[in-house]
Structure 1
Amino acid sequence: MPLTASQNISSDGRSSATVRSLLLRGLRKTYADVVAVDGVDLEVMPGECFGLLGPNGAGKTTTIEICEGLTAPDSGTVELLERNWNSHANELRQLIGIQLQETQFPDKLTVEETVLLFRSFFHRGVAVDEIIRMAQLDEKRKSRVGGLSGGQKQRLAMACALVGDPELLFLDEPTTGLDPQARRHLWDLVDDLKKAGRTIILTTHYMDEAERLCDRIAIMDHGKIIALGTPQQLIASVGGEHIVEFALGTDTNVDVASLTGIPGVQSHRVDAGLHQLSVSELHTAVPLIFASLKGQGLALSEFRTHSATLEDVFVGLTGRNLRDE
């Protein structure tokens, strides 16, 4: 079954509209005294690009490994394409594709030989020539894997994940090491896969990537889902359309109440010495913020504004930037 938008039928002939691509209920996993996954519930539908975000130690990697059949849960329900790993392991391996964050390929094989090897694992799939072209590796077809750059190895990993024409695709940090042009190409490829009815589970450290690609996003921390929704819904949860950031010339106390009392200012937080205000009406709030700071005798060393983003949501919920890890 080729990777085209015309096919929306699962391998057993059922319409993908009737099949849940991923279902997690009460998922739990512990390692000694550490609770890695703590009662996670998720549901992902066909054709959806679903983002799973979280800092290191949040539990997202363990959750993904359980979904991929690499780790067994302690308890809970795990269903992929209405199948489970206990009863349908061989069938599921034919229906899913996995791109790991870092994949080790045999250095002496060529790109073409590597894709041929992975294609041999599947009963059906995409032609090797097509998948090499799709991954923009034509010029490296006869090159040995050991001589590829990091970005080229990432594209090879994507090719191997797609060569079985999967209905459900797991992408773990797929654009790490890619140049901007290759990154945009992968975004376009993900869009094409969604149009073809494929489902994608994506983890990424790039908030703009999650915002651009994902239909819905779950944010994990301490083994739990702490936020779930579309990118627009999550950004709206910040409480304001804009973020005002400022820093002071000296380490001086700020009268926070005078700032949060300004009409349109929703909240205040401090991140590494940078004050952040969530603001709904920028044009009316900014002059009043300046006036408040001046009235307190405070001198600014930095002042800037930007539209609220997923990064602001993430920092507000977890207290850290996604890439701080």
Structure 2
Amino acid sequence: MSTATAPVITVRDLTRTYCPAGRKKDAYTAVDGISFDVHRGEVYGLLGTNGAGKTSSLEVIEGLAAPTGGTVAIFGHDPKTDRDLVRPDLGIMLQNGGLPRELTVAETMRMWSGTCSTPRPTDEVLAEVDLTHRLTTRVGSLSGGEQRRLDLACALLNDPRVIFLDEPTTGLDPESRARTWELLADLKSRGVTMVLTTHYLEEAERLADRIAIMHAGRIAVEGSLDDLVAAEGAEITVTLPGTGVKGFPDFPGALVSRDGDHLRIRTTHLQRDTRRLLDWAAAQGITFDHFTARPASLERVFHRIAGAQAA
């Protein structure tokens, strides 16, 4: 993807601090000086554990809250102070849409359409999210997944050039999730720019051109999926037999650790070092009690940053 043109979204040294009235000593910094750009037609995945600062960041970038420090620009405008200029180009799907439960799907779409300067036909948008058959159903009677699809429909009504998606497929069944991914991929192909937060790592892998993983209010790593995975390295683990192990081979460039009979090899050359280990075992006449060779993955990058053991 070309990034020669000016970014659609520019975030510089963004900070957001919550400070209870009159209690500065209890101030809490949720977002601590993050910076990134998002270009036209790019899907930028903003990941992190609960409390990492994702939603606090999104609220500022969307123009729903003011930053404590730093700047945000969308198409060169401040999304908070220049909201009248920015809002017509934005689609926002909040983590919890909060639509009136007593309205039907059709009534909700008519209501939301009235807030858009150039709305699309509501039947067209509902067809995209597969809700045409629920026109007369009240929002409160929809399933959780259907409510998320209605939230997405509202975000798409004004044919936005930029869409913010906060956990867009939470509660969706696998088929509906796959259809939503297809819809978002089609929007991307039309040049729509998206910022995505999700707890589904497969979703980020499938949709995001670049991924940032936040931890404790900061961006710990950022890059394409290939970049993040390549930096993490693969892992080989074995349980050695209790006796008769001699002349253990070298693994140049790998990080090797041993705890009793348990051996772990972190490597960026999985195939080479797996073959080296198995050839050595065959020459020694050794059968491992346990053996795994796992390639690097976004899941392992995420768990390392979150301070947990990768599954």
Q: Please classify the TM superposition score into its range, dividing by the shorter chain length.
A: 0.7 to 0.9
Q: Over the residues paired in the alignment, what is the CA RMSD in angstroms? A: 3.1
The answer to whether the aligner puts 1:105 opposite 2:99 as a matched pair is yes
Q: Any idea what SS the aligned residue of 1:58 has?
A: coil
CA, structure 1 residues 267+138, in 2 after alignment: closer, same or farther (shift >3 Å)?
farther
Structure 1: distance between partners of 2:14 and 2:57: 8
The counterpart of 1:188, out of the listed 179, 182, 186, is 182
Listed one character per residue, the Cα deviations across residues 97-140 of structure 1 (whole Å, up to 9, x for unaligned) are 11111222212211111111111101112110100000101111
Q: Which amino acid aligns with 2:122?
A: V
> Could you tell me how far 1:248 is from its partner in structure 2?
9.4
CA, structure 1 residues 299+246, in 2 after alignment: closer, same or farther (shift >3 Å)?
closer
Residue 274 of structure 2 is matched in structure 1 by 285
Residue 236 of structure 2 is matched in structure 1 by 244
Question: Is contact 2:104–2:137 with CA below 8 Å preserved after alignment?
Answer: yes
Residue 317 of structure 1 is matched in structure 2 by 305
Q: Which amino acid aligns with 2:221?
A: A
> Could you tell me how far 1:157 is from its partner in structure 2?
0.6
Residue 11 of structure 1 is matched in structure 2 by none
Listed one character per residue, the Cα deviations across residues 178-199 of structure 1 (whole Å, up to 9, x for unaligned) are 1111111111111111111110
Larger Rg: 2
Residue 90 of structure 1 is matched in structure 2 by 84
The counterpart of 2:251, out of the listed 262, 266, 269, is 262
> Could you tell me how far 1:290 is from its partner in structure 2?
10
Greater alpha carbon shift after TM alignment, 16-25 vs 96-105: 16-25
Question: Is contact 2:235–2:270 with CA below 8 Å preserved after alignment?
Answer: no
Listed one character per residue, the Cα deviations across residues 234-263 of structure 1 (whole Å, up to 9, x for unaligned) are 11111x3x43356799xx9xxxxx79x534
Q: Under a length normalisation based on structure 2, what TM-score does the superposition of the two structures give?
A: 0.83
> Could you tell me how far 1:50 is from its partner in structure 2?
0.4
CA, structure 1 residues 25+284, in 2 after alignment: closer, same or farther (shift >3 Å)?
closer
> Could you tell me how far 1:303 is from its partner in structure 2?
3.8
Residue 67 of structure 1 is matched in structure 2 by 61
The counterpart of 1:179, out of the listed 156, 173, 177, is 173
Structure 2: distance between partners of 1:52 and 1:130: 29
CA, structure 1 residues 248+131, in 2 after alignment: closer, same or farther (shift >3 Å)?
farther
Question: Is contact 1:265–1:285 with CA below 8 Å preserved after alignment?
Answer: no
Q: Which amino acid aligns with 2:292?
A: R
> Could you tell me how far 1:317 is from its partner in structure 2?
2.8
The counterpart of 1:197, out of the listed 191, 202, 209, is 191
Question: Is contact 1:28–1:37 with CA below 8 Å preserved after alignment?
Answer: yes
The counterpart of 1:304, out of the listed 270, 277, 292, is 292
Residue 132 of structure 2 is matched in structure 1 by 138
CA, structure 1 residues 211+267, in 2 after alignment: closer, same or farther (shift >3 Å)?
farther
> Could you tell me how far 1:268 is from its partner in structure 2?
6.0
Question: Is contact 1:216–1:228 with CA below 8 Å preserved after alignment?
Answer: yes
CA, structure 1 residues 35+298, in 2 after alignment: closer, same or farther (shift >3 Å)?
farther
> Could you tell me how far 1:264 is from its partner in structure 2?
6.5
Question: Is contact 1:264–1:285 with CA below 8 Å preserved after alignment?
Answer: no
> Could you tell me how far 1:70 is from its partner in structure 2?
1.9
> Could you tell me how far 1:65 is from its partner in structure 2?
0.9
The answer to whether the aligner puts 1:234 opposite 2:244 as a matched pair is no
Question: Is contact 1:37–1:62 with CA below 8 Å preserved after alignment?
Answer: yes
Tell me the number of residue pairs that the alignment of Structure 1 and Structure 2 aligns.
292
| Structure 2 gap ranges (5+) | 19-25, 243-247
Q: Which amino acid aligns with 2:191?
A: G
Structure 1: distance between partners of 2:134 and 2:240: 52
Structure 1: distance between partners of 2:96 and 2:170: 9
CA, structure 1 residues 150+224, in 2 after alignment: closer, same or farther (shift >3 Å)?
same
Listed one character per residue, the Cα deviations across residues 1-32 of structure 1 (whole Å, up to 9, x for unaligned) are xxxxxxxxxxxxxxx98552211111111224
Identical residues among aligned pairs (%): 39
Structure 2: distance between partners of 1:147 and 1:168: 30
Structure 2: distance between partners of 1:158 and 1:20: 24
Q: Any idea what SS the aligned residue of 1:189 has?
A: helix
Q: Which amino acid aligns with 2:101?
A: D
Question: Is contact 1:19–1:82 with CA below 8 Å preserved after alignment?
Answer: no
| Structure 1 gap ranges (5+) | 1-15, 253-257
Structure 2: distance between partners of 1:172 and 1:81: 21
